[in-house]
Amino acid sequence: MLNTLDDYPIHQTPEPIAHPATSDRNVYDRTWFNGYAADGSYYFGIGMAIYPHRGILDCAFSTVTPGGRQHCFYGSRRAPLERTEMQVGPFRMEILEPMKRTRVILEDNESGVSCDLTFSTRTAPIEEARQTLWSGSRRTMDATRFDQFGRWSGWVKHPDGEFKVDEAMCHGTKDRSWGVRGVGEPETGGAPRVPGGICFVWAPLFWDDHITHAIFFDGPKGEALVREGIVAPLFGSEAEVPAAWDARDTRMATARHRIAYHPGTRLARSAEIDLVDHDGGVRTIALEPILKFQMKGLGYGHPEWGQGMWKGDLAVGGESFDPRQLDPLAPQHLHTQQVVRATDGTRTGIGVLEQIVVGPYAPGGFTAFFDGAKGD
């Protein structure tokens, strides 16, 4: 089975590009973005992924507006055989220049959400360490991810109005990942698996002339499964951004995090991240959340529009809600991103703090699967 990409010298196996190297049903290939105003007045998230063995291509666009409500568009279709075809109904993603510029268009549709946005990168692609998680003898996640930091321009319309997106004030992060991770309807059959706990923290931050990034996966006792801290230069325009093979990022020896939670929730009230260099020096970054976005608006944990769920040959939908009014301990509401102000004592920055904590987690004082933080 051939497609357009097979005409490029990019093959890693004897198979055509349409054939994943693994037969795992949960293999995926995903593009994800966020965008947010420097003053925290709005946020939007974008996602599109193909699941070759599930035969599905899905997408989502969701925004928290200046009025505080979150509006969502969801789309799903039977996966096309042509990998360069990145369109689901009224949604399409256009790679204008690889690793430089991407355009996202959502035409008018029944959700009331639409957009025309262009992402322009300000960093070279930054490859995160390979992320492999296990459940017993089985890999539950085995993925590679790269990130780019940049700016957005364009516009967004939603049921409460519209807003212009000006690259002078709209930061954003691009996240490309592929591999295997749990998506879609859960598998059935076989002996029941004992559920485990996990804490995931992801914190891409913009500073005046550089970016910092930290990635964490913790086990139930707070044990480090993945720890990574990265610093990279931030360029003034995409024309200055070096090639992918010349990323110029600096890898820290390790990173640490501390989170204070809102009582009765698993949502960060504040956080600190330590970037530890190879000489033992520590840069401590304090994070102050200013706007909350529910990741279910992009399909994460959504009971109806979850990623990789079969919805038919073509289906679109949408919803609107107030993130401030949701039950914070409902499973589909645990996964969040918050726009945060950052400071390290001498400099200030802006970025996001993504987090999800499921199951017992000793550093947070969580002893059950969905209990909240203790305190007043």
Mean pLDDT of the chain: 95
Phi, psi of 11 (to 5 degrees): -70, 140
Across 133-144, average pLDDT: 88
Across 140-144, average pLDDT: 92
Q: Check pLDDT > 70 for residue 118.
A: yes
Across 246-268, average pLDDT: 96
Band of pLDDT at residue 155, cut at 50, 70 and 90: very high
Residue 8 inside a domain? The answer is no
What's the confidence (pLDDT) of residue 186?
80
What's the confidence (pLDDT) of residue 244?
86
% the chain with pLDDT above 90: 88
Write the single-letter amino acid at 98: P
Which H or E run contains 8? none
What's the confidence (pLDDT) of residue 197?
87
Residue 90 inside a domain? The answer is yes
Residue 15 inside a domain? The answer is no
How far are the Cα atoms of 9, 21, 48, 175, 218 from residue 6, in angstroms, in the given order? 7, 15, 21, 24, 39
- CATH number of the domain where residue 283 is located: 2.40.370.10
Length of the chain: 376
Q: Which of 28-32, 50-54, 136-140, 201-205 has the lowest mean pLDDT?
A: 136-140
Q: 């949502």: which residue's tokens? A: 267
What's the confidence (pLDDT) of residue 139?
86
Write the single-letter amino acid at 322: D
What's the confidence (pLDDT) of residue 137?
83
Q: What is the DSSP string of 87-155?
A: EETTEEEEEEETTTEEEEEE-S-TTS-EEEEEEEESS--EEPPPEEEEETTEEEEEEEEEEEEEEEEEE
Q: Check pLDDT > 90 for residue 136.
A: no
CA angle 71/73/79 to nearest 5° reads 160
Quote the CA–CA distance of 252 and 206 in Å, as a whole number. 17
Residue 189 inside a domain? The answer is no
C-alpha dihedral over 74, 77, 82, 83, to 10 degrees? 40
Across 125-144, average pLDDT: 90
Question: How does pLDDT run across 284-313, given as a tens digit for each residue?
Answer: 999 999 999 999 999 999 999 999 999 999
Closest C-alpha among 109, 113, 115 to residue 160: 113
Q: In terms of residue numbers, what domain contains 294?
A: 26-182+196-364
- Total number of domains in the chain: 1
What's the confidence (pLDDT) of residue 138?
84
Across 9-30, average pLDDT: 92
How far are the Cα atoms of 33, 133, 140, 310, 358 from residue 137, in angstroms, in the given order? 33, 10, 9, 28, 21
Rg for the chain (alpha carbons), in Å? 20
- 8 Å CB contact between 198 and 355: no
Write the single-letter amino acid at 95: I
Q: Check pLDDT > 90 for residue 250.
A: yes
Residue 116 inside a domain? The answer is yes
Band of pLDDT at residue 109, cut at 50, 70 and 90: very high
Q: Is 299 left (phi over 0), alpha (psi -120 to 50) or beta?
A: left
- 8 Å CB contact between 18 and 52: yes
Helix/strand/coil for 307:
coil
Helix/strand/coil for 298:
helix
Residue 10 inside a domain? The answer is no
Q: Check pLDDT > 70 for residue 376.
A: no
Number of Cβ within 10 Å of residue 225's Cβ equals 16
What single-letter DSSP state applies at residue 199?
Answer: E
Residue 1 inside a domain? The answer is no
The tokens describing 60, both together, are: 């989502």
Residue 191 inside a domain? The answer is no
Across 237-242, average pLDDT: 94
Q: Is 66 left (phi over 0), alpha (psi -120 to 50) or beta?
A: alpha
Closest C-alpha among 251, 252, 249, 250 to residue 281: 252
Across 84-90, average pLDDT: 97
By DSSP bridging, strand 250-251 and strand 268-276 are: unpaired
